[in-house]
Amino acid sequence: MDKSQNIFEKACRLMPGGVSSPVRAYRAVGMTPRFIERAKGSHIYDVDGHDYIDYIGSWGPMLLGHANPEVAEAVCQVVYRGTSYGAPTEGEVTLCEMLIDAMPSVEMVRLVNSGTEAVMSAIRAARGYTGRDYIVKFEGCYHGHSDGLLVKAGSGLMTQNVPDSAGVPEAYASKTLTAVYNDLDSVKALFEACGEQIAALIVEPVAANMGVVLPKPGFLEGLRKITEDYGSILIFDEVITGFRLGYSGAQGHYKVLPDMTAMGKIIGGGMPLAAYGGRKEIMEMVAPSGPVYQAGTLSGNPAAVAAGVKTLEILKAHPEIYTQAEMQAEKLEKAFLENIEKYHVDAVCNRAGSLMSIFFTKQPVTDYPSAASSDLERFKEYFAVMLAEDIYIAPSQFEALFVSGVHSDEDIRKTETAIGKALGQWQA
Ligand SMILES: *Cc1c(COP(=O)(O)O)cnc(C)c1O
């Protein structure tokens, strides 16, 4: 802990909160973040020499585990030929073809650098296409930090109890309407009130930024129907679910096709890369084909593209990676449920494939209010034991636990033991 502590103290003098992204700062758990030196497979190592089993996986991208040798090699090959040209490369075309091939609703794609940019740009395209201003989002869903989307936006914001962000003009936020996840009536009410002015509805098809919350049967289908009825664009934010719930994302899994899709995380294989895509007629609104401006100096960066292409190639050739990740996740879910029962802990576990969350609350978690009913003190105590047992999980109640395709049986056994200790700690 000494080195992490020292570096963090210096970092806090130089960087806001000592970090480059808020949830890394461990504020919700009242601890010092671990500074990371390296990672390999399912393990991550801090500067003090601790060896942790990693269930953050860079917050989603590392489905193949850290430092996959084929991905690393693909990146290195490119780097020696130059890291950025500001000109088109064949790799981008290959990656876009793979994304279109994988995602059932996507016909045309633009590459960007972050999920934030992907969503922000998808919304701009949807507004350009429909000529309307309003968007609808769900309370507790996170879609990156662009101005209009920092309204009731989950995880990082939930963790710090900042319902909205300072610095967002009222005029932007007022164009964002919020509905309740899994509650179609709340959506209908908004569309009945002003459906003709709604450009787009955006949703995480499996919510994973208020902890993992699954869509109820019929919810996504209902959103498809309502948006269609009003001529609004349905946007799936698949930045987490894309290539995670399966190679065809949540849209393939639930067989509901949005008009537009935002992608990120896994598609960059751990490099800064994201994308948005959708129906051709909407995507053709984007510059230089159409009047919706969107650009990027480093967009389609060749090193990031190489990591993305190799990652998707591996996932496509090895569908058993999904089976493996989900099987290991199922074991952890079972360990959670058994220990919840054994120790009479007020907690529930939600899981979608290799994504899951334990919530310290009695009620089923189906939306933001039920997620927010969690006992955060309990979470803190649970987190502290897990970390002491070398289990590296997100330092927040409102994040997912990410299982990779390379978590070994031994990793799982150790984690099961840690879960037993963490959930047993409140016994007299
Ligand atoms: C992570 C995330 C984003 C933002 O992506 P960044 O690359 O962090 O900007 C957007 N939407 C969802 C659903 C996410 O999980």
| pLDDT score of 226 more than 60 | yes
Residue 160: burial class (beta carbons within 10 Å; 0-12, 13-18, 19+): middle
Q: State which of 317, 337, 354 marks the end of a domain.
A: 317
Q: Looking at the structure, do residues 191 and 290 belong to the same domain, yes or no?
A: yes
Q: Looking at the structure, do residues 166 and 292 belong to the same domain, yes or no?
A: yes
Q: State which of 275, 296, 317 marks the end of a domain.
A: 317
Region of 245 (left: φ > 0; alpha: ψ -120 to 50; beta: rest) is: alpha
Categorize the per-residue pLDDT at 428 as very low, low, confident or very high, splitting at 50, 70 and 90: low
What total of structural domains would you count in the chain? 2
pLDDT over 70 percentage in the chain:
96
Q: Looking at the structure, do residues 270 and 337 belong to the same domain, yes or no?
A: no
| pLDDT score of 190 more than 50 | yes
Q: What is the bridge-based pairing of β-strands 198-203 and 36-40?
A: unpaired
Give dist(CA 231, CA 93) in Å, integer.
31
| pLDDT score of 160 more than 50 | no
Q: Looking at the structure, do residues 300 and 324 belong to the same domain, yes or no?
A: no
- The pLDDT tens digits of the residues spanning 332-342 come to 999 999 999 99
| pLDDT score of 151 more than 90 | no
| pLDDT score of 159 more than 80 | no
Name residues contacting ligand 1 (CB within 6 A). 114-116, 119, 142-144, 204, 209, 237, 239-240, 264, 274
| pLDDT score of 158 more than 60 | no
- The pLDDT tens digits of the residues spanning 402-418 come to 999 999 999 999 999 99
Active site residues: 142, 237, 265
Q: Which of 114, 155, 239 to mutate to test the pocket of ligand 1 (most atoms within 8 A of CB)?
A: 239
pLDDT at 163: 46
pLDDT at 243: 98
Q: Looking at the structure, do residues 225 and 332 belong to the same domain, yes or no?
A: no
Q: What is the CATH number of the domain that holds 384?
A: 3.90.1150.10
Q: Looking at the structure, do residues 112 and 57 belong to the same domain, yes or no?
A: no
| pLDDT score of 96 more than 70 | yes
Q: Which of 116, 138, 141 to mutate to test the pocket of ligand 1 (most atoms within 8 A of CB)?
A: 116
Q: State which of 266, 285, 317 marks the end of a domain.
A: 317
- Name the 3-class secondary structure at 112: strand
pLDDT at 392: 98
Q: Looking at the structure, do residues 310 and 413 belong to the same domain, yes or no?
A: no
Question: Which of 211, 231, 137 is CA-nearest to residue 397?
Answer: 211
Q: Looking at the structure, do residues 258 and 373 belong to the same domain, yes or no?
A: no
Q: Looking at the structure, do residues 298 and 261 belong to the same domain, yes or no?
A: yes
> Chain centroid to CA 190: how far?
26
* Length in residues, the chain: 428
Asked if residues 367 and 229 have their Cβ atoms less than 8 Å apart, the reply is no
> What integer is the mean pLDDT of 97-104?
98
> What integer is the mean pLDDT of 347-354?
98
> What integer is the mean pLDDT of 376-390?
98
DSSP classification of residue 264 = -
Ligand 1: centre distance to CA 119 (Å)? 8
Q: Looking at the structure, do residues 304 and 356 belong to the same domain, yes or no?
A: no
Region of 211 (left: φ > 0; alpha: ψ -120 to 50; beta: rest) is: left
DSSP per-residue letters across 242-256: TTTSSTTHHHHHHT-
> What integer is the mean pLDDT of 171-177?
86
- The pLDDT tens digits of the residues spanning 304-330 come to 999 999 999 999 999 999 999 999 999
Q: Looking at the structure, do residues 292 and 376 belong to the same domain, yes or no?
A: no
- The pLDDT tens digits of the residues spanning 39-87 come to 999 999 999 999 999 999 999 999 999 999 999 999 999 999 999 999 9
Partnered with residue 349 across adjacent β-strands are 358
Range of the domain at 102: 69-317
Ligand 1: centre distance to CA 365 (Å)? 22
- Return the exposure string of 227-236: e unless at least 16 CB atoms fall within 10 Å of the residue's CB, then b: beebebbbbb
Q: Looking at the structure, do residues 260 and 233 belong to the same domain, yes or no?
A: yes
Give dist(CA 218, CA 216) in Å, integer.
6
